Amino acid sequence: MKKLKLVSTVLMVAFLLLLSACGTSKSGGEEKKTLRVVTDAAYAPFEYQDKGEIVGFDIDFVKAVIKEAGYGVKVEHVGWDPIFVEIEGKTADVAVSSITITPERQESYDFTVPYFLSKNEILVPKGSTIKSAKDLDGKKIAVQNGTTAQTIVENLYGKNNDKLKKFENNNLAILELKNGGVDAVVADNTVVETYVKNNPKDNFEFIEDDTAFEKEFYGLLLPKGSKLKADLDKAVKKVIDNGTYAKLYKKWFDVEPDVQILKDQQ
Ligand code: ARG
């Protein structure tokens, strides 16, 4: 009996040694750190708070990517504008927040390769006279401040359009529509459609307009020149290639993703 115990102890120790050897060899001998990820958790189903927890497709995705890259991960809700301050000031390593890759943002930040195809869409009360983007002209519109929705509406109807109301987060923009303060909200299609589906009592509908709203791709936002970019790009591609991405996509959106369109962008 004693012998058996000794053998199992030896085996146990050998196993633990093996485990730790694996751990270090993977990171080339040095400890890989825990990355600080910031988000604006007010954009369901991508990032939102549920019983005090930050959840959503983006959150599952960024965790899978960072794990794949061999780092630890800690996600924190800081809000939309602070994301850009933190990434620029390098107080955070990564931001995930349905952030569209745009040439303007690329001047000040780096992005990983794209991981999601999106476009803007209009949210209106059912039966609204707004049937396309051109019907937004002269109407009161709510957007989240500093998003692509704001840029698009400003490009269409002027930068000093006093009918455009800008909110700190998208939930406040939708609340304004609910309260009758505006005629429409412009935001990312998945967010708009999820809201319509989950809030039937609000009696909202969504309006697509492929001529006014172009394809957009989300990327993970990184400080300019971030040394993590190579590792994270590789990990994003891996997570897309190994089926993890499709699994998460189905979990959150109930449909298969078109991964080819992402690969064509890589
Ligand atoms: N995709 C849009 C943009 O990059 C909106 C993103 C808003 N995300 C959020 N978590 N509030 O401008």
State the pLDDT at residue 160.
84
Is the residue at 60 inside a domain? yes
Residue 4 located in a structural domain: no
Instruction: Answer whether residue 71 is part of any domain.
Output: yes
Question: Closest ligand 1 atom to the C-alpha of 148?
Answer: 12
Q: Does any ligand 1 atom lie closer than 6 A to the CB of residue 147? A: yes
Residue 242 lies in a domain: yes
Q: Is 12 part of a structural domain of the chain?
A: no
* Domain span at 145: 120-207
Predicted TM-score of the model (pTM): 0.89
| 209 Cβ inside 6 Å of ligand 1 | no
Residue 230 CA to ligand 1 center (angstroms) comes to 24
Tell me the DSSP string of the chain. -HHHHHHHHHHHHHHHHHHHHHHHHHTTTSPPPEEEEEE--EETTTEEEETTEEESHHHHHHHHHHHHTT-EEEEEE--HHHHHHHHHTTSSSEE-SS-B--HHHHHHEEE-S--EEE-EEEEEETT-S--SGGGGTTS-EEEETTSHHHHHHHHHH-TT-TTEEEESSHHHHHHHHHTTS-SEEEEEHHHHHHHHHH-GGG-EEEE--TTTS--EEE--EEETT-TTHHHHHHHHHHHHHTSHHHHHHHHHHSS---HHHHHTT-
Ligand 1 proximity of 97 Cβ (cutoff 6 Å): yes
Residue 25 lies in a domain: no
Has residue 22 been placed in a domain?
no
pLDDT along the chain (266 residues), means of 10: 57 51 47 93 98 98 98 98 98 98 98 98 98 97 98 94 96 98 98 98 98 98 98 98 98 97 95
Asked whether residue 23 is assigned to any structural domain, the reply reads no
**Residue 124 and residue 108 share a domain:** no
Closest among 140, 92, 121, 148 to 204, alpha carbons compared: 121
- CA-80 nearest atom, ligand 1: 11
Measuring from atom 7 of ligand 1, which residue has the nearest CA? 98
Same-domain pairing of 76 and 95? yes
- Claim to verify: residue 188 and residue 222 sit in the same structural domain: no
- Tell me how many degrees the CA angle 114-111-217 measures, rounded to the nearest 5: 30
Considering its fold, how many domains does the chain have in total? 2
**Which ligand 1 atom minimizes the distance to the CA of 99?**
4
- Cβ(150) – ligand 1 distance below 6 Å: no
